[in-house]
């Protein structure tokens, strides 16, 4: 981020009349200008709303209207048409610095509100977790429209005065070139990206000795991928969290990564964690969201703990282990997909009487969505798959459709998730 970029973003906000509490959208491939826009929003008391350029135009426009964007800034290569700023007036909110839209379990994404204090707390967690100082060099290859790509290493490194190299998007050859020529000390990956690197022809000869550690998260990291990086002397520090937690909540130190691979570690910094009823992981701390934008859905228990929707356990030493997802969520290549969101579109397709969406294991992406439908009059499988074009981001499209006479349901009419998984198993 250069002074010129920061000046440009400040000027853009002033020209649009952006005031304290206004929401400013950003869309585009990874670029230093996004960090400049973030800094300009913080100075102005405005809220940055990162927009996923992979979403369909209809999805982007919905977020723009839900957030009430005053302005949309686009990177030099946005990768998608920027949505129009909202035309309707919406309430002001002067306490939120980041508004991160996340796929929950409902049919539409929700905006998690993170205050400037929460962003600062997360940055402190990152600096303590990875030991980030001004002497470090972070290589960013994950999309910064996700809070993981933006806030686990990139923004904290900027706050520490460290060097940050940003790739527009992940490319295996560019990653290996960056490691060879720039010799970064830290980077952050997700399992799908780790798998692409380990399976690449350049992996065997790659010298990763410059990396002090590698952060990894978004979903459970397969042991064989952890072992591949550990064999090259790079500790894989698993980071557990979500948009709602800023996102760092529980994580491994470098020493823990090597001694207890597969664990998610211990609560980081001022964040607290415990196992609640039903084995659910509960979180509390200054890094947590203050609520959901335009949603009254309760995010916390009566005594102030955030309900993650994930199940876990603690061993005798107190370290946490992730065990399962209590909420029905598909994670494909690091992207969260709410089945209800896909089902909303699926049920509007001609010839579909009933439908459900489930994740199917996939060697490359971890999981992919598959549709299970009860056909009606005029049903055509190819037409159902085409129905998603322009309505949802391509990564949310079902990879296949399974036709059944009836959806498997309990006596109370609830769709049986385990039975669905058996129907779509490869």
Strands 213-216 and 236-241: parallel
pLDDT band at 333, cuts 50/70/90? confident
Closest CA to 65 of 46, 86, 92: 86
Q: What is the pLDDT of residue 241?
A: 94
Q: What is the pLDDT of residue 278?
A: 80
Residue ranges of domains in the chain, CATH in brackets: 3-94 (3.40.50.980), 117-325 (3.40.50.12780), 330-424 (3.30.300.30)
Lowest mean pLDDT, pick from 104-118, 174-188, 232-246: 104-118
Please tell me which residue, 211 or 86, carries the higher pLDDT value.
211
DSSP symbol at 329: -
Helix, strand, coil share (%) of the chain residues, nearest 5 = 30, 25, 40
Using CA atoms of 164, 165, 167, 168 in order, give the dihedral in degrees to the nearest 10.
60
Q: How far apart are the first and last CA of the chain?
A: 46
Q: What is the pLDDT of residue 65?
A: 92
Sign of CA dihedral 243, 275, 368, 201: positive
The order of strands in the sheet holding 366-375 is 352-362, 366-375, 401-403
In a 10 Å sphere around its CB, with 0-12 CB exposed, 13-18 middle and 19+ buried, how is residue 265 labelled?
buried
Q: What is the pLDDT of residue 92?
A: 59
How far is it, in rounded angstroms, from Cα 399 to Cα 371?
8
**Tokens (6 digits) for 4:** 């010129």
Strands 137-140 and 186-189: parallel
Whether 124 contacts 159, CB under 8 Å:
no
Mean pLDDT of 376-390: 92
pLDDT of residue 87 exceeding 70: no
How far is it, in rounded angstroms, from Cα 397 to Cα 341?
11
- Quote the distance between the C-alpha of residue 386 and its chain's center: 26
Give the predicted TM-score (pTM) of the model.
0.81
Percent of the chain with pLDDT over 70: 94
């Amino acid at each position: 981020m250069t002074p010129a970029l920061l000046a440009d973003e400040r000027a853009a906000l002033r020209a649009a009349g952006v005031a304290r509490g206004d929401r400013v959208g950003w869309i585009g491939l990874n670029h230093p200008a996004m960090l400049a826009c973030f800094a300009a929003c913080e100075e102005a008391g405005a809220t940055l709303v990162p927009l996923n350029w992979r979403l369909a135009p209809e999805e982007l426009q919905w977020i723009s209207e839900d957030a009430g964007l005053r302005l949309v800034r686009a990177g030099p290569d946005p990768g998608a048409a920027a949505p129009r700023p909202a035309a309707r007036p919406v309430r002001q909110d002067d306490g939120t610095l980041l508004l991160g839209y996340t796929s929950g379990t409902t049919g539409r994404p929700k905006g998690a509100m993170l205050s400037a204090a929460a962003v600062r707390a997360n940055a402190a967690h990152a600096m303590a977790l990875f030991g980030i100082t001004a002497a470090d060099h972070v290589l960013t290859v994950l999309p910064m429209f996700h809070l993981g790509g933006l806030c686990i290493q990139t923004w904290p490194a900027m706050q520490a005065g460290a060097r940050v190299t940003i790739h527009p998007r992940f490319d295996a050859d560019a990653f290996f070139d960056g490691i060879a020529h720039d010799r970064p000390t830290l980077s952050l990956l997700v399992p799908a990206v780790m798998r692409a690197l380990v399976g690449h022809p350049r992996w065997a000869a790659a010298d990763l000795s410059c990396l002090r550690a590698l952060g990894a998260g978004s979903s459970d990291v397969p042991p064989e991928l952890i072992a591949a990086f550990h064999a090259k002397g790079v500790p894989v520090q698993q980071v557990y969290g979500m948009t709602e937690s800023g996102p760092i909540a529980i994580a491994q130190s470098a020493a823990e990564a090597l001694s207890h691979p597969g664990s998610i570690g211990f609560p980081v910094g001022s964040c607290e964690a415990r196992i609640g009823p039903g084995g659910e992981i509960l979180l509390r701390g200054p890094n947590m969201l203050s609520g959901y934008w335009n949603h009254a859905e309760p995010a916390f228990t009566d005594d102030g703990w955030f309900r993650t929707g994930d199940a876990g356990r603690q061993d005798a030493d107190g370290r946490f282990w992730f065990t399962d997802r209590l909420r029905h969520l598909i994670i494909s290549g690091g992207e969260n997909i709410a089945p209800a969101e896909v089902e909303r579109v699926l049920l509007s397709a001609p010839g579909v009487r009933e439908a459900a969406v489930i994740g199917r294991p996939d060697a490359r992406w971890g999981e992919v969505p598959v549709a299970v439908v009860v056909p009606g009059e005029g049903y055509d499988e190819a037409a159902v798959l085409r129905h998603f074009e322009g309505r949802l981001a391509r990564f949310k499209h079902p990879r296949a459709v399974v036709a059944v006479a009836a959806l498997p349901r309990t006596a109370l009419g609830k769709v049986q998730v385990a039975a669905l998984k058996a129907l779509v198993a490869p």
